[in-house]
Amino acid sequence: MAIEEEYGIGLSESNISYWVRGIHIPEREAYNKPDFSKKEEISWLAEIFAGDGTINVSKEGKKLRLKVKDRELAEEASKVFARVMGREKPYAVGRFSDGRYYVEVSSRELADHLLEREKVLMYLEESPLEFLKAFFDCEGYISAFIDAYGRFGARIGITNTDLELLETILTKLKGLGIGGKLVVAYRKGKVLISSRGRITARRNCYNIAICRIRDIIRFARTIDSSIPRKNEKLKDVSSILERFGFTEDAAVEWIRMYRYERGKGRERWFKREKMLNRKEALEEYKKFLSSRR
């Protein structure tokens, strides 16, 4: 077929039939004409695909697929994709058997655009806050805990295998007044346990660790997250640190807001439906410390 020879894209008989019968018109197909003027949305997608996105090429064309653990992130991506592709409704969110969620979009132009590494770095330069927010949405976490001495502790982490990209992001964070350290999370060859079972790391993985109180607070104020649950936890941790720092009082305040529970994956602390009063929280705090001894 001439189109396949010229552009490297095969057309199915059903597509040709739809066009011939006027059911669809190629010039008006939203999936093939992304709006690159939407800089913030494209920047957000560029970071997402630098992390958990894949681009598949077949005779039908190029398909972008985002695979994530968090349903809220998948739903946010479906809305961003829709705005970029000119759709009124978000794309459908599916789910794999291992529990991960996914969104798929067919667009050769958008796929080619996001495959260019220079474009990814360009969006980091042009829209750093939007890019960093997406990076944290996709590759970041906020961890809060009570240490062996009964004091509150917290850190923000951002993980990826692309060392050069993380180094650039760390520089951007420092430019925003947010300090952090770049460390090796694990080495190539390490056996990991995931929702897909045991897997062997094919590359070194690195982590930006943000641990100081002022840096965590500034991150929460400047960047935050588009995922409501993650953003809420980030704000809660920031608020506690601003009032109490890394202290026992901060640990009691944390227990007022969150409960400790084992056996639900890596997450151990869950938001309470109703906050405890100070006396109740102090009792729970004592019980928690006693259970750890």
110-137 pLDDT per residue, tens: 888 877 778 778 878 888 888 888 889 8
C-alpha distances out from residue 174 to 167, 178, 181, 212, Å: 11, 5, 10, 13
Backbone phi and psi for residue 103, each to the nearest 5 degrees, phi listed first: -130, 135
pLDDT grade for 16, boundaries at 50, 70 and 90 = low
The overall average pLDDT reported for the chain is 83
DSSP at 90: P
Q: How many helices (H) and strands (E) in the chain?
A: 12, 12
Residue pair 237/212 in contact (Cβ under 8 Å)? The answer is no
Mean pLDDT of 172-201: 84
User: 3-state DSSP call for residue 13?
Assistant: helix
pLDDT at 28: 46
pLDDT of residue 179: 96
Q: What is the pTM of this model?
A: 0.77
pLDDT at 37 over 90: no
Lowest mean pLDDT among 64-68, 163-167, 260-264, 281-285: 260-264
pLDDT greater at residue 129 or residue 1: 129
Higher pLDDT, 83 or 112: 83
User: Virtual CA dihedral for 161, 167, 172, 177, nearest 10 degrees?
Assistant: 110
**CA nearest to 142, candidates 52, 73, 238, 50:** 238
What are the chain's domains? 2-122 (3.10.28.10), 127-292 (3.10.28.10)
CA atoms within 13 A on the CB side of 226: 26
Distance between CA atoms of 92 and 70, rounded to whole angstroms? 15
Q: What percent of the chain stands above pLDDT 70?
A: 82
- pLDDT for position 23: 45
Residue 107 pLDDT grade (very low, low, confident, very high; cuts 50, 70, 90): confident
pLDDT, position 12: 52
d(C-alpha 243, C-alpha 83), whole Å:
40
Residue 170 pLDDT level (bands cut at 50, 70, 90): very high
**Whole-number Cα distances in Å, 110 to 84, 168, 252:** 9, 24, 49
Contact 281, 252 (CB under 8 A): yes
Q: Is the pLDDT of residue 109 over 60?
A: yes
Determine the average pLDDT of the residues in 14-32.
50
Distances (CA, A) of 40 to 14, 116, 134: 35, 17, 10
d(CA 73, CA 69): 8
**What span, in angstroms and rounded, lies between the C-alpha atoms of 223 and 217?**
10
